[in-house]
Structure formats: structure tokens, C-alpha cells
């Protein structure tokens, strides 16, 4: 499925002008279209190209091209159809585009809520953690949204963000084709490496997170995505590629177990550790947001290794 704002048009431009401006053919008023009338011969660019043009013919410098463009931006960029590579605009991944989300009413950076395309019944909350039921979740709390066209978008879930509060820095690790997508989140001076457990042919990276890591926590299931790509053919051929992951009601049950497991773990730690200012459970129940930032480095590393293993195996 393509983005509803992805449009096609035929544009006209002058091949002789030093700075050619492409204009959609449908937007050119008939009275202003000198390029297709005999009086194009008075244009200095046309005279320079062909000093004597056939009477009544269109300007030899006039060219047309089919293009694609985004109708949601104020100054669209026309991309020739022949030059268009597979992109998020022409796949289901467009649903995580910041421009698309803004147009449908979701403002990145305002609130962490699921994309408005999801009906209310398709979202659950577990102790304040949003769990979209249409996503598949890996054991290290990365989510996968798989489109009908085979594309996939990967991000981090609300549980992970509750633990870290926010990422100070997002670093994408270069990798060769066929290697699991890999990212490192910097949290209070501690590095949290994460790799998606299934092999994915990566086609896109959300580089905007490098300059604005706050989007990761502000909009984790929308514009805070990490990677885009296609599941490897050998993974798909093995059967249901998302089988090792959990989704739907199973994801809600799993998320509750994870909340209870971490809360219980922190209560045990508090009961047998010395008082060093640790504030892990704000109300004596569920662990508080930003827990990882209150821990000593070695404790944070142990927590990350237990709940967010780099690349969990199945």
C-alpha cells in the first residue's frame, strides 16, 4: 500500500534555461504556456537552442517528464519515475513517516501514543505501558510491524522506554547485508546495545534520531522507529517469520509478566542492599520510570543483560 500523499504528475521544464524549474502541466494556464505556441521564438533560451524553429511547432527546449512527489509538504520535490527506488512512500512503512503522522494529527514530541490508524480496541495498556496488539514483540523489547507487502518496521517498546526514561544518544552500527539490525542507546553514561533477533534486509534507518533522540521516547510506535527492511527469504521460507515473537493478547500477558518480573527483582534488590539513594519503586509497587538512571553502572549493565539481551536466541 502506498502513502495517500504520494502523487504522480507530468511536469514541464526548459532544457536550455540555466536554472530549469519543473512545473506540473495541469497547473500551467493556457494563456501563459508560451512554450507550446509559435511565439516561443521570442524566448532568448529558445533562440539560443534553435535559431530558426519550425513555424507553429512547440519549443524544442520544452521537455516533459513523469514524476512522483509528496503532496503533504509545502515545497514538494519532484522525483522522476525512472529514478524512484523502493522507498517508504510506496510501502506500508509510510505509516511511520513524521510528515504523514503530523498530517493525520499526531505531533511527534507531544505525547507517546499509538498511531491514530489503530482503533482503540487494538491497543492495551499494562501499568501505563502502551501495547499495540498489531505489533510483534521480541524478548529484548524490540517490536516489528510487518506490512502486507512484506516490508517491516522495527522499534523499541514502551517497557524499555519506561526503564531507561529516555535515550541520550542513538547510534546506528553499520552492518553488511544479512546481518541483524544493530543499534546502541546511551543511557546515563551506560551503553545499551540492541539487535533485532531475526535476519532482516535493512532498507532504511531513522537517522533523525541521531540529532533528535527524544523522538524515540516521545513517539516510540510512530516517528521514533529505528529500522525498515524486509525479512530475509530464508527466514520467511522457514514458516511464519514472526512465530518466535509474541503479539495480540499474548503480548499483553507477556508484558505484564515482564513488569511483574522487573518490579519483583527491584524489590528483592532493595530489601537486601544498603541504602545508597536507590529509588526504584516510587509507590512500593511497579518500578518507577527512568529506573536505569538511578542504578550504579554495574547494576544497570546487569539489568540490561537480563531484560534486553543484545540478540536473544529462540
Q: In what order do the strands lie in the sheet with 6-14?
A: 23-24, 6-14, 62-70, 79-80
- Count of CB atoms situated within 10 Å of the CB of 257: 11
Specify if 91 maps to a domain. no
Residue 8 is predicted with a pLDDT of 85
pLDDT > 60? residue 284: no
Q: Which tens digits make up the pLDDT trace of 78-110? A: 887 765 555 677 777 777 777 777 776 654 443
Sign of the torsion formed by the C-alpha atoms of 206, 310, 220 and 84:
positive
SS3 of the chain: helix, strand, coil, percent, to 5: 30, 25, 45
236: CATH: 2.40.50.100
Query: d(Cα 305, Cα 21) in Å, to the nearest integer?
Result: 55
pTM confidence score:
0.71
Specify if 256 maps to a domain. no
Specify if 287 maps to a domain. no
Residue 67 and residue 79 in contact, taking contact as beta carbons nearer than 8 Å = yes
Query: d(Cα 196, Cα 146) in Å, to the nearest integer?
Result: 14
Domain range enclosing 13: 6-83
Q: How many domains does the chain have?
A: 2
Residue 110 is predicted with a pLDDT of 38
Residue 214 and residue 96 in contact, taking contact as beta carbons nearer than 8 Å = no
Q: Which of 55-69, 159-173, 190-204, 298-312 has the lowest mean pLDDT?
A: 55-69
Residue 104 dihedral angles phi and psi, to the nearest 5°: -90, 5
Q: Which tens digits make up the pLDDT trace of 192-241? A: 999 998 888 888 899 999 999 999 999 899 889 999 888 765 555 455 55
Q: Show the DSSP H helices in the chain as ranges.
A: 44-49, 98-103, 158-164, 208-211, 214-218, 233-237, 248-272, 297-307
Q: Which tens digits make up the pLDDT trace of 6-63? A: 888 888 888 777 777 788 877 776 666 777 777 777 777 766 666 555 556 678 778 8
The verdict on 139 and 65 lying in the same domain is no
Residue 262 is predicted with a pLDDT of 92
Amino acid at each position: 500500500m502506498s502513502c495517500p500523499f504520494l502523487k504522480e504528475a507530468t511536469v514541464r521544464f526548459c532544457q536550455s534555461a540555466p536554472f530549469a524549474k519543473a512545473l506540473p502541466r495541469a497547473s500551467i494556464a493556457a494563456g501563459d504556456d508560451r512554450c507550446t505556441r509559435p511565439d516561443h521564438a521570442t524566448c532568448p533560451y529558445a533562440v539560443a537552442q534553435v535559431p530558426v524553429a519550425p513555424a507553429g511547432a512547440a519549443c524544442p527546449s520544452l521537455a516533459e517528464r513523469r514524476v512522483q512527489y509528496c503532496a503533504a509538504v509545502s515545497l514538494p520535490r519532484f522525483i522522476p519515475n525512472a529514478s524512484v527506488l523502493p522507498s517508504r512512500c510506496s510501502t506500508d512503512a509510510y505509516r511511520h513517516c513524521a510528515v504523514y503522522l503530523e498530517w493525520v494529527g499526531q505531533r511527534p514530541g507531544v505525547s507517546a501514543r499509538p498511531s491514530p490508524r489503530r482503533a482503540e480496541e487494538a491497543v492495551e495498556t499494562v501499568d501505563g505501558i502502551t501495547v499495540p496488539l498489531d505489533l510483534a514483540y521480541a524478548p529484548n523489547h524490540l517490536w516489528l510491524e510487518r506490512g502486507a507487502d512484506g516490508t517491516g518496521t522495527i522499534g523499541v517498546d514502551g517497557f524499555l522506554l519506561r526503564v531507561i526514561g529516555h535515550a541520550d544518544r542513538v547510534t546506528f552500527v553499520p552492518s553488511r547485508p544479512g546481518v541483524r539490525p544493530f543499534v546502541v542507546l546511551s543511557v546515563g553514561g551506560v551503553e545499551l546495545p540492541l539487535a533485532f533477533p531475526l535476519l532482516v534486509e535493512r532498507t532504511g534507518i531513522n537517522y533523525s534520531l541521531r540529532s533528535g533522540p527524544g523522538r524515540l521516547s516521545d513517539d516510540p510506535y510512530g516517528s521514533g522507529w529505528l529500522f525498515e527492511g524486509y525479512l530475509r527469504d530464508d527466514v520467511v521460507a522457514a514458516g511464519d517469520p514472526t512465530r518466535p515473537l509474541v503479539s495480540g493478547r499474548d503480548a499483553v500477558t507477556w508484558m505484564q509478566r515482564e513488569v511483574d518480573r522487573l518490579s519483583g527483582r527491584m524489590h528483592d534488590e532493595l530489601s537486601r542492599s544498603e541504602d545508597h539513594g536507590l529509588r526504584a519503586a516510587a509507590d512500593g509497587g511497579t518500578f518507577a520510570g527512568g529506573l536505569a538512571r538511578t542504578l550504579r553502572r554495574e547494576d544497570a549493565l546487569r539489568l540490561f543483560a537480563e531484560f534486553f539481551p543484545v540478540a536473544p536466541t529462540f
